[in-house]
Chain A
Amino acid sequence: QKEVEQNSGPLSVPEGAIASLNCTYSDRVSQSFFWYRQYSGKSPELIMSIYSNGDKEDGRFTAQLNKASQYVSLLIRDSQPSDSATYLCAVKTGGFKTIFGAGTRLFVKA
């Protein structure tokens, strides 16, 4: 069974701090990795994609990928209360399917 594991949280950080969200996956041949943000009662929204080892930055968000360790992370710099949401890690396996983690709840305290 291919799996994507995330700490369910909640992760609580003060406003302005860096939030670090982590994800591990089991399928070594995975090539595409995604982070989604989901506000309560809303659908998931894609915020970052990463396909190669290293860091990818987009505004306050940085995705990090280490395929050797089968590890993906998302850093949110200068966290804001509006960043409070559940963050889903997703990994595309072979074929057309994408496996989603259960999500990490993030609370940013003002």
Chain B
Amino acid sequence: DVKVTQSSRYLVKRTGEKVFLECVQDMDHENMFWYRQDPGLGLRLIYFSYDVKMKEKGDIPEGYSVSREKKERFSLILESASTNQTSMYLCASSSNLGVQGYEQYFGPGTRLTVT
């Protein structure tokens, strides 16, 4: 079974703090994604990566950056947390290969509150 883990289930940070969210997958997937999910707005893509050290902006990259130094690990960084970044953050991974390519598997999520 694919396993995607995230570093924290719940996180409370103060405005202006630098926040790191980490995601690790154990299925050797090429692609990794960071989403945020807010009531009424659905899943919104922040950044994705299709290879080590490669990254692409999603639909709402402002205020975020990412790092992918190893294939299994994809980090989301909030450079200076703001209250409007309070949200559920979801990491996902997928492969490019075969008939099951591009099926995304999600981690348990991190509920971030910025006060």
* Residues on A facing B (Cβ under 8 Å): 32, 34, 42-46, 49, 51, 88, 90, 92, 96-98, 100-103
Please measure, in the bound complex, the distance between the C-alpha atom of A32 and the C-alpha atom of B58, giving whole angstroms. Answer: 19
B58 touches A100 (CB 8 A): no
Residue count of chain B within 8 Å CB distance of chain A: 22
Taking a contact as CB atoms under 8 Å apart, the answer to whether A96 and B31 are in contact is: yes
* B residues less than 8 Å from A88 (CB atoms): 42-43
A102 to B39, CA, bound (A): 9
Taking a contact as CB atoms closer than 8 A, the residue among A44, A97, A102 that contacts B106 in the complex is: A44
Inter-chain contacts of B20 with A (CB < 8 A): none
- Chain A residues near B43 (CB-CB < 8 A): 44, 88, 100
Count contacts between A and B, CB distance < 8 Å.
Answer: 42
A98: which B residues are within 8 A, CB to CB? 102, 104
Across-interface contacts of A96 in B (CB, < 8 A): 31, 48, 50, 56, 102
A45 to B100, CA, bound (A): 15
Distance in Å: Cβ of B72 to nearest Cβ of chain A = 17
| Contact A97 B48, CB 8 Å, known A42-B108, A44-B106, A102-B42 | yes
Residues of B within 8 A of A102 (CB): 40-42
